[in-house]
Every structure is written in structure tokens, then in C-alpha cells.
Structure 1
Amino acid sequence: MTTPGYTPELLAAALPAAIRAPSMHNSQPWRFRLRDGGIEVRVERGRPLPVAGLGDLGDWAAHLACGAAVFNLRLALVAEGAPARVRIRPYTDEPDVVARLEPDEPALATPAERALLAAVPRRHSSRMPFSHEPVPGAVRWRLVEAARAEGGWLDLVVGTAAVAAFGELARGANRVLERDPGYRAEIAAWTRHGPAPDGVPVRAGGPVAEPWDLLPQRPFGDQVRAPGRDFEPEPLVAVLGAAGDTPVDRITAGQALQRVLLTATDAGLAASMLSQPIEVAAARERLRTALSRFGSPQMVLRLGYGQPGWPTPRRPAADVVDTPIHSG
């Protein structure tokens, strides 16, 4: 027997986890509301990024972020004994509603689900260099399985030559983006030099990028490192993707992305996201071809052991909840 419907109290209990989802430039493009006993997650217009997060990809960045929030919401609800079944894009006439969570059969959270939920407040993007310690094969397998469990896929870029080739592709995509004045202005607009409920604080931005770095970095930080010092020689790079590139695929990929990130956090790994090769259409297609994938790459991850990263701020839960509505 299913529960009759989610309550404002259950939504309030789950929101602290939901809003800890990652989003491009920490733009937090989500809103939540109760509707006829279900919880809706929708894109908040005005917060999606008009340059980096849109381009030729529609609401790509917002869909990934909202999908990640859906995954956190699922974890929080099952921990409350109120698991959810998820309908992605449930209304044909309301495309901004990315998902609807409806009460499922009552059940207790599994130990694995509780471990992932415990990782939510510890997951932060780390833009600092990682150590030389390799990621063990068993942990790599857990990451691949985490993506698969949510309907996505995760390919690891293995070997010096493959990582170097990916680095060349990523740097080329970054150069294309940086030639766009709108892109540079958007980065500056989301860089925070003082207290703010969103955006990327300078202290979380990592070291200033150098021309010889293997992988590109967004220019959020202002930390200068010793001249000539490599950022890191050979990170573990992983490409996360979905079966296609529709809005449903991107929302699915967002849930897979968050499961991978929380699995990495639970395993003691740090991570950051590199989306430049996804944002540039030609680079994205080259990446897909290099991986021999029919599906669509949706995000690139950099993984390793090291500093877990600085927490970035979040808007108060009260600022992202709408008044409940009833269709009847």
C-alpha cells in the first residue's frame, strides 16, 4: 500500500539534501513544489546560463543539475521511509517540470543508500591538484556501476597517450569558449569575491591556470602556484554519458552523475567537472567518436585522491520552494 502523498514536512526534511546537488557555476537552477501529493522539480527560468549552459544544447546544464537534485531528493525521501518513483518530464505542456516524484511502496533505506546520503554534505568540487596515488580497480568498477545503475554510462580514459589526447581536445574546446566575450562575462558574473548564496567563491576556484597544464581550468580562482610547476601529470579522467541527447537523457544523466559523484566521495575520492569538451559541439562529437559510443557524452569528470574542495554556498531552502498547488 502506497503512502497517500508527500507532505510539506517531508519536502522540508528532504530539501537540505536536494539543494546540495552540483550545478554549473553553482547557479542552482531548480525549484521544488508539492502538487497533488507529489514533489515536482523544475527549471527556474532566469538562472540557467545563457552562454555556457545553453549554446546548441538547449537547457543542458540546467537539466543535469536538476537531475542531480532529483537523485539527492530520492535518497533523502527513502531515508525518511518514503521512497519515490520518478516520472521524468511528466507534462507535455509544462517542459520546465523536469521530474515528478510520487510515493512508492514504503521501504527502509538500504545501507548503500544511507552511505550515499551521508556523502551528500561532503561532496564538493575540488579544483586543487590530486596526488599521484592511483585509483584502485575496485573503486573504478564501483564508479562505472554507479552510472549504469541510473541508466547512464561512464568510460574511463586510461593510459598516458589517451589522457594526453583528451587534454588536447579539452584545451582546444576551452580556447574556443574563451574567444567568446559573453562566455568570459558569464564566468566573471558567477565568480564571488564576497558572501553570496550562489556562484563560485574565489577560495573554491583553485589555482590560476597555466598554458602548460594538461587540463583546462575555469578562471574562478586567484591562487598562484610556483612557476613551471605542473598542475598534475596524469589524473583519472572519466566521461559520463547517456543513451541519447534529449531532455530526458540529460535529466537521466544528471541522476547518474550525482550517483557517481557520491560514490566517489564515499570511496574517499575528490572530483571536479570539466564540461568544456561538452559545450563545444565539434569537441563533443570528437569525444564521442574517440570513445566509440553511440550515446551522447554529457559530462567529463576529473577524479583522484586529494583535498576534497571547499563547500560552495546554497540558497536557503525557503527560497526555492513554491506554494503547493492542486490540479483538481
Structure 2
Amino acid sequence: MALVRDATAAPSMHNAQPWRFQYSRRNRVFHLRADLRGALPHTDPVLRALHIGCGAALMNLRVAVAHEGWQATTRVLPDPSDPMLLATVTLTGPLGDKDDPAALYPAVHTRHTSRYPFAETPLPDAVLTALAEAAHREHLSLSFASGSHLRSVMDLALEAEARNLTDAGAAADLARFTRRADDTRPATEGVPEYAFGPRRRIGKAPMRDFAGGKPIPGRPTVDFETAPHLALLSTARDRPLDWLRTGQATERVLLRATVEGVSTSFLTQALEWHDLRWPLRDPMSGNAYVQMVLRLGYGPPGTRTPRRPVHDVLDLEP
């Protein structure tokens, strides 16, 4: 089903794809459920990243539904007795004259995470404003780190990356969802070797090493930015509702960035360590919980990563 194929183009941590859809033809309702096949037990013990990934898929579904000309009603966490039911999307009738999400549809399948160096070129104010507005539409605050706050965020990410490379649990989660060239497992999930990106030689962009510190023959080593453009998405509270909103806001920001010709990647390492997450916040901001850190810039658009086939993530009901 094309709408679910669009939804699953969303990003998720380690490309774990922690979602499953059900569609009722009679009621024209999509159910979005958490799929624990995509859980990361050590890195994401409370399922925060799982909810964010599912929220991103929900945003893509909303965009695709609007693109197809449907008005839809979205309910998040509709059943308190079923916490794995994350959202429902009900198709209610023809779309009105104007719906903003539909304009983002061209970016759904062209958005890819870019793990390559970006130019040092500043982002125009108009682009920054558009990205902040995209987050605000999903009830999140987006801020751009600068000065001492930027240096702090980069230092925390570097500390977290160093921990990840020596932590057995983090290594196990990474190994489960990475694919080396000689891997014989089906290539339907995770980050394949061709999408690892180059190793950082110098520069301040704290990129995740998907090789886990292990050498890969022929993998290049390059210079990254000295002052990367980092955007932080934050919420006032830290509940599953906030995590789902974060996923929707993150994907809306990423789609808008793609439309504007801006490449993106994730710097989530410090978010994975309880003691490093709190210091990420801007002390001048009123938002207590940083939920996502994005790297933005002008550079290669990134590489497509595999997705599970639609029949593996969709159940059709009469």
C-alpha cells in the first residue's frame, strides 16, 4: 500500500524501523503500533527513541494522506490500556482547499541522512525561520546552538560517542542494526556499510561511527566542519506524548530542510546517556528536555537505506 510505503520512508534510530501498521478498509482507519523488533534494549530502555521513530512515520503518513487528497483526523495514544497503540489516523473525507503537510510530499523519498561533511556556509535566516516554524507546528521548540552552548553540545556528543565505543550494551545494539559488506542477513533494516559515511579526521562534528571503531578497508577519512550547525528540539515535559510529538516535529523539520536544499543528520549520542542528556539544554531556555539534536548544512544529500517490505509492516483488515 503506497501510503504505508511513504510512512516507512521515515528515519529511526539505527534504522531499526520500530513501527507496524494496521488498516481497516471498512472504517478507513490506520492504526500505528510499536513493533518491538525495532527496540534497542540497552540504548533505548524506556522506548523514547522508539516513540520518536514512530512519530516520524506518523508525520510521513499524514503528509502522504494529504497528498492523496484526504482529510484525516489523527489521535495520539488513543487507548490508555494499550500503550503500544501509538496513534490512529482516520480518513474522513476530501481534503480542503489547502493543507500544509501535502506541500512536503516531494521530500518524503528524497530525504536521507547525510553522514558526509557539510560546507561551513551559514544557513540563511529565512531557512532557519522556516525550520523553527515547522517544529512549532508540531508543538515543539527548535533552537540553534551557538557560542558556549554549541561547544558544550559538541563536547557532550563526543563524550557519549567515546562511551558507546567501549560499552558492551551499546555495541550489541549497534551490531544488531549494522550491515557490513560481507553480512549474509537480509538487507531490510539497519544501516549498511555503504551508508556509514567517512571517518572524521579533523573537525568538530561529532559523527557516530557505525563501524564501532573497527577498520573497514577502503573507507575514507575526511575533514568535517569546525563549527557545525546544530539544531535542538525540546519539550517542557518528557512523556510518551512528547516523544511522539518530537518524532512528528523532527520529520517535519527534516522534510522542510530537504525542500530548502539543506542536508541533515542526527547527533543523538548524548541523548542516550542519562547523565549527559540534561546538560544538553540551553540554560537560557525554558524548555527542560532536549529530545533531538540535528546537524544541518549544505553537502551531499545522503544515501538511501533499506526498508522492510510493506507486507512485513502492514496488516489489512476488512
Settle same-fold status: TM greater than 0.5: yes
What stretches of structure 1 of length at least 5 have no aligned partner?
1-11
AA matched with 2:176: A
Q: Which residue is equivalent to 2:42?
A: 51
- 1:242 aligns with one of 235, 238, 244: 235
1:171 equivalent in alignment to 2:171: no
Tell me how large the CA RMSD over aligned residues is.
Answer: 1.9
Compute the TM-score of the two structures, normalised by the length of structure 1.
0.88
- 2:179 aligns with one of 192, 205, 208: 192
AA matched with 2:120: H
- Give the Cα–Cα distance (whole angstroms) in 2 for the partners of residues 39 and 14 of structure 1: 10
Q: Is the 8 A contact 2:208 2:269 kept in 1?
A: no
Q: Is the 8 A contact 1:201 1:220 kept in 2?
A: no
Q: Is the 8 A contact 2:204 2:228 kept in 1?
A: no
Q: Which residue is equivalent to 1:4?
A: none
1:270 equivalent in alignment to 2:263: yes
Write out aligned runs for 1:147-162 (5 A): 147-159=135-147, 161-162=148-149
Distance 1:171 1:203, change over 3 A: same
Indicate the SS of the match to 2:23. Answer: strand
Q: Is the 8 A contact 1:155 1:238 kept in 2?
A: yes
Distance 1:190 1:291, change over 3 A: farther
Q: Which residue is equivalent to 2:2?
A: 13
Higher alpha-carbon deviation: 188-197 or 43-52: 188-197
1:220 equivalent in alignment to 2:220: no
TM-fit CA distance, 1:93: 1.3
Q: Is the 8 A contact 1:24 1:53 kept in 2?
A: no
TM-fit CA distance, 1:276: 1.0
Q: Which residue is equivalent to 1:255?
A: 248
Aligned length: 306
Indicate the SS of the match to 2:233. Answer: strand
AA matched with 1:115: A
- Give the Cα–Cα distance (whole angstroms) in 2 for the partners of residues 316 and 244 of structure 1: 35
1:283-310, Cα deviation, whole Å (9 max, x unpaired): 1111125353334111100000000000
- Give the Cα–Cα distance (whole angstroms) in 1 for the partners of residues 10 and 261 of structure 2: 18
TM-fit CA distance, 1:261: 0.3
Q: Is the 8 A contact 1:187 1:219 kept in 2?
A: no
- Give the Cα–Cα distance (whole angstroms) in 2 for the partners of residues 109 and 284 of structure 1: 42
Compute the TM-score of the two structures, normalised by the length of structure 2.
0.90
AA matched with 2:34: V
**Deviating runs (4+, > 4 A) in structure 1?**
none
- Give the Cα–Cα distance (whole angstroms) in 1 for the partners of residues 75 and 175 of structure 2: 36
Distance 1:291 1:122, change over 3 A: farther
Q: Which residue is equivalent to 1:311?
A: 304
Distance 1:113 1:37, change over 3 A: closer
